[in-house]
Amino acid sequence: MQTVDLIVHASWIIPVNQARDVLADHALVVDQGKVVATLPSKEANLAYQAKEELDLAGRALIPGLINTHGHAAMTLFRGMADDLPLMTWLNDHIWPAEGKWVSSEFVHDGTQIAIAEMLRSGTTTYSDNYFFPEDAIRAILPTKMRAQLNFAVLDFPNNWASGPDDALAKGTELVKSYREHDQVRVIYGPHAPYTVSDEPLLKIKALAEEHGVGIQMHVHETQGEVDDAVKANGERPVARLHRLGLLGPHFQAVHMTALNDDDIRMCAETGTHIIHNPESNLKLASGFCPVDALQKSGVNVALGTDGAASNNDLDMLGEMRTAAQLAKAVAMNAEALPAYEALAVATINGAKAMNRHHELGSLEAGKLADFAAIDLSDIESAPIYDPVSHIVYATSRQQVEHVWIGGEQVVKHRELLTIDRQEMIAKASTWRSKIKE
- CATH number of the structural domain spanning residue 329: 3.20.20.140
pTM exceeds 0.85, yes or no: yes
Percent of the chain at pLDDT > 90 equals 98
Beta bridge partners of 147: 126, 184
**421 domain residue, yes or no:** no
Whether 379 and 400 map to the same domain: the answer is: yes
Give the number of domains in the chain: 2
**427 domain residue, yes or no:** no
**412 domain residue, yes or no:** no
Whether 371 and 317 map to the same domain: the answer is: no
Phi, psi of 359 (to 5 degrees): -130, -15
Structural domain span for residue 284: 65-353
Whether 14 and 74 map to the same domain: the answer is: no
Residue 83's CB: how many other CB atoms inside 10 A?
8
**305 domain residue, yes or no:** yes
Burial of 313 (0-12, 13-18, 19+ CB in 10 A): middle
Phi, psi of 209 (to 5 degrees): -65, -40
Phi, psi of 72 (to 5 degrees): -55, -45
pLDDT in tens, 219-241: 999 999 999 999 999 999 999 99
pLDDT in tens, 324-361: 999 999 999 999 999 999 999 999 999 999 999 999 99
Whether 120 and 255 map to the same domain: the answer is: yes
Nearest Cα to Cα of residue 330 among 297, 276, 292, 281: 292
What is residue 437's predicted lDDT score, i.e. its pLDDT? 66
Residue at which a domain ends, from 314, 330, 353: 353
In whole angstroms, what is the distance from residue 28 CA to residue 35 CA?
A: 7
Mean per-residue pLDDT for 365-375? Answer: 98
Whether 31 and 167 map to the same domain: the answer is: no
Whether 83 and 222 map to the same domain: the answer is: yes
Whether 46 and 165 map to the same domain: the answer is: no
Tell how strand 251-255 and strand 273-276 pair up: parallel
Whether 241 and 337 map to the same domain: the answer is: yes
Whether 289 and 397 map to the same domain: the answer is: no
Beta bridge partners of 15: none
Q: Say if residue 88's pLDDT is above 80.
A: yes
Would you say the C-alpha torsion 133, 111, 363, 217 has a positive or negative sign?
A: negative
- Three-state SS for 343? helix
**436 domain residue, yes or no:** no
Whether 210 and 136 map to the same domain: the answer is: yes
Question: What does each C-alpha distance from 377 to 12, 120, 213 come to in angstroms?
Answer: 12, 18, 42
Confidence of residue 113 (pLDDT cuts 50, 70, 90): very high
Whether 71 and 52 map to the same domain: the answer is: no
